[in-house]
Structure 1
Amino acid sequence: MPSPDAVVLKGVREEPTPDDGLRVLVDRLWPRGVSKQRAALDQWAQDAAPTTALRKAFHSGELAWPQFVDAYRAELVKRPEAAAAVAELRGRALTGRVTLLFAGHDHLRSHARVLREAILGTPDPNLP
């Protein structure tokens, strides 16, 4: 499994830095107001993002954060394209740093934290 410092989280609007390593956008939708040049992406892993239905349920308040985390964890295992994306990102993290970029403003309740947990293969004690 990759070391915890091999997978880091960063808002897509934050400045790119040389120590970011592989910069991967992990949102299903392109972030508003961010140009491709500004994002400085190496990869866009849409298959690793929550499904549209799950994302909408969480943002509408239909799902609370703990229920969203459980549902997204299940998606990352059960959806073949999501599981493949996690495996590919895990492989990349074994050879260098991977920075998961996301557009949300809430860094504590971001799907990227759940995805990082899946890539590392170890539970995040700060997630429900």
Structure 2
Amino acid sequence: MISEGWRAAIGSVGASAFCWGVAGGVHLGLEMHSRARGGNSWGLPEGGGWYEFAWFAGFIVTIYSAPGLLRRTAWWPSLSLSFGTGIGIITVLTLGQGTRYWVAVAVMAAVGIASPVANRLWGRHHPI
């Protein structure tokens, strides 16, 4: 059984990595890549490999740890998701100030605010 402290630390790292990768994706923008078989795919342009890795690895860690953070009787582990979105907000605003950056900041702030609220309204009544 993993302690709440470790669970919150893992959630913080995952959410921070995910939001850092999203910030890089917002900054670099997505571009279409053509495949040999005629299909197309979207990805970050050349030089965005670390952002893309952080995006996907952080997503997997965050999705894996989110139920354990939100469905607890203790409220403080859900703040690790808020911490990760705070790191993402700082990164996005460091990279630029355009409209797309402010949209990303608004979405990250909404998620950061929603995680403790979700724990308070739903998670405490349905603990794991």
- TM-score (normalised: structure 1): 0.31
Q: Which of the two has higher C-alpha Rg?
A: 2
Greater RCO between the two (CA within 8 Å, min separation 6)? 1
**TM-score, normalised with respect to structure 2:** 0.31
Going by fraction, where is strand more abundant, 1 or 2?
A: 1
Instruction: Give 1 or 2: higher helix fraction.
Output: 2
